[in-house]
Amino acid sequence: MLSVELEPTQCDFNKRKHICPIQSCLNFFERSCRMFFCRGLEMHIRKLVLSVCVVCLTVPVAFAQDEFYPIDSVSIQYPDDIGGDFWPASNLIQGPGVGFEADEPYEKFGGGDANNWVTTDDCGFPADYIDCVGEPVIFLDLGQDRALDEISMWGYEDTNTNGWREFSLRFASDADGADGYGSSISYNPTFIQEDFFEYLAVERQSFDFSENVNARYVELTVTDNYFDDPGDGTGEEGWGPGGDRVGIGEIAFRASGGFEPPTPEPGIDFYDIADITSSMSDSDLWPASNLIAGPGEGFNASEPYASLGGGPDGAWVTTDPGGFPSDYLEVEDPPELIIDLGEDVALNEIDVWGYSSGNANGVLEFELEFATAADGDDGFGASISYNPTFGDVELDPTIRQQFSFEEEVMARYVKFIATDNYYEDPGDGTGELGRPPGGDRVGLSEIAFPVITDIDPLAPLDDGRLTDPQERADYVHNILGTWFGDSNLDGEFNSSDLVLVFSEGLYETGDKAGWAAGDWDGDMQFGSSDLVTAFIDGGYEAGPRPDAVVAVPEPSAFVLAFLAALGLLRLRRR
C-alpha cells in the first residue's frame, strides 16, 4: 500500500479552516492506487493521478471569505481603577481593511501604538500584571443583536510576554442592556492558548463557540497573559521577558449566515493641501510635510478615517531644545504651522490626528488664524478676524478628531499654533494626573480640512469678504440672482422681507447683523443706509430679478414715504 506523509509545517492550515490542496491531491493519489492495485494498473494510475495533482497545484483554490460584524464601540474596566491604557482600546476594533486584511489569511497590518491595545505597567518591571493589578475587562458593543458562533483574536507582540493567553466571555442581548451580562444568556466560555510560540502576533486565531448565541454586548475578561516567572526572560518556559502589562492586537466576530455587511456611508472629501511649513522647519525632528499626506496615505480614505502611519514617515514632531525631561513650551515659543490650501476655499472644520499615546508630546491645545489669497501668507487677521482656540486634543494617533468652527470662513492660508502639549511636571511620567512621560517636544500625525458640500450662500455677504459695493452687487445680482433686500432669499424683495428683518430687532441698535437681519450694505449693522441700498436697487415688489440688466427706477412715492417714516422713528428714539 502506498503511504504518503507530510511534515505538519508544510500543510497544517487547520487553524484557518483551510483544506490544503497538496494534501487533497496526495490523498486522492493514495486512494486511487489502492483501488486499482489489484488490477495491475498501478503504474498507469500513478501517471494519471500525478498529472491531476499537477493541475491541482497550479490552479488557485477559491475559499469562501469570512465577513466580520462591525463593532460600534469598546471600553475597558480596570480593577479598582488602578490600571489604564498605554495604547488605546480603539485599536482593538479597527476591523477588516484597517486593522487586519479583509481577505484570507486575515493577517494584522502592524503593531505598535497604532495597531495594538496594551495596559500601563502599574507594578513596574518585572511583575505579573494579572497578580499585581488584576484582570482587565473589555466591553464590546456590536450595535444590535448578532448571531455569534466564534470570536477572532490577534496577538499583541512577539518580542515580549504581555500578550493575552487566556480569556473568558459573557454575553448580553439588546433587551438585557449593557449591564445585563448573563441575564438571558448563560453561556460563559473560557479559551486558552497554551504555547507562546504557537502563533505569530499577526495571525488570526479563531475560537469556535460550543453553542450559538444572539447578543449585542460581549464582555471579554483577560484572565492570564504569558508572564513567565520571574518575568525577566529567565523563566522555565523560555517565553521571554514581560507580563508586566496585558495587550491584544485586534478582536473581531465572524458573521454567521445571513449577514449582509452594511452599505458604507458616502465618503467625505478633503481639500488638497498644496504646502505646509513649520516655524521650526530648520530643527524639526520629523518634517511637517508628514502632516498633509491626505486620505489614502496619511489616513484611511473611508470611515472611520483611521491613521495609516506614524513615526518618522507619518508624523511631525519638533526637537527637544530643553532635553528630557522638560516642558517644550517653557523653553520655546509655540510652534506654528502655515498651511496653504492653494486657493480660497470654504472652511468650517479642521480635523487632526494625535501624535502618540505613549508620551506627552502630542498637541493638547491649538489656535487658528486665517488669510485669503488676497491677504497673502503673512496677512493673517487682515480681512478675517475669526481666531478660534480648541483644546482637549486626544493623544490617540489613530482616530480622526473633528473641531467645528463657529462661523464659516473663506481662506487660502491657515496658521496652526500649538499652544500646549500634554507635559505634566516633572515630565517623567510621575505627575499627579498620570500623564505619560514627555512634553519636551510637540507633535501631531495629520491635519485635514473636509470639503464643505452645503455652503451657506450668505457667508460671503456676512463674513466681511464682500464690502466693496460693486463686488457685493455682482454677488447679489449674478451669483444669488436676486435683489438687495431679499432677506429670506426667495428671489424677491417685498414686505415679507421687511417684516423678517424688523422682527430681528436690530434696527439702529449698533449690534452685529447679517444679510438675513438687514445688513444689505455690508457694514455688519442694520440701519437706514441698508434700506436706502435696498430700495435704490429697484427690486421692491418687482418680482424675481430678470436675467437681463434693467434700468434702476426712481424711488416710488411709497419708498420715499417709508424712508421718511423710518427717519421719524429714529428721531423719536433719540
DSSP labels for 73-87?
Answer: EEEEE-GGG---EEE
State pTM to two decimals: 0.46
Residues of the chain with pLDDT under 70: 1-64, 81, 257-267, 454-455, 547-574
pLDDT confidence of residue 33: 45
pLDDT confidence of residue 456: 72
Can you tell me the distance from the alpha carbon of 293 to that of 272, in angstroms, rounded to the nearest whole number? 9
pLDDT 10s digits, 373-415: 999 999 999 999 999 999 999 998 889 999 999 988 989 999 9
Go through the chain and tell me how many residues it has. Answer: 574
Can you tell me the distance from the alpha carbon of 272 to that of 296, in angstroms, rounded to the nearest whole number? 12
Can you tell me the distance from the alpha carbon of 73 to that of 90, in angstroms, rounded to the nearest whole number? 8
Can you tell me the distance from the alpha carbon of 10 to that of 4, in angstroms, rounded to the nearest whole number? 13
- Chain centroid to CA 563: 55
Beta strands in 440-483 (DSSP E): 443-444, 446-448
pLDDT confidence of residue 256: 75
pLDDT confidence of residue 479: 79
Using the CB atoms, write b or e for 51-84: b if 16+ within 10 Å: eebeebeeeeeeeeebebbbbeebebebeeeebe
pLDDT confidence of residue 257: 64
pLDDT confidence of residue 300: 86
Q: What is the average pLDDT value for the chain, to the nearest integer?
A: 84
pLDDT confidence of residue 302: 81
* Residue 77 β-bridge partners: 137
Can you tell me the distance from the alpha carbon of 203 to that of 200, in angstroms, rounded to the nearest whole number? 6
Can you tell me the distance from the alpha carbon of 501 to that of 487, in angstroms, rounded to the nearest whole number? 7
- Taking the CB of residue 358, how many other CB atoms lie within 10 A of it? 17
pLDDT confidence of residue 417: 98
Domains in the chain, start-ordered, CATH in brackets?
Answer: 8-58 (no CATH), 73-252 (2.60.120.260), 275-448 (2.60.120.260), 459-573 (no CATH)
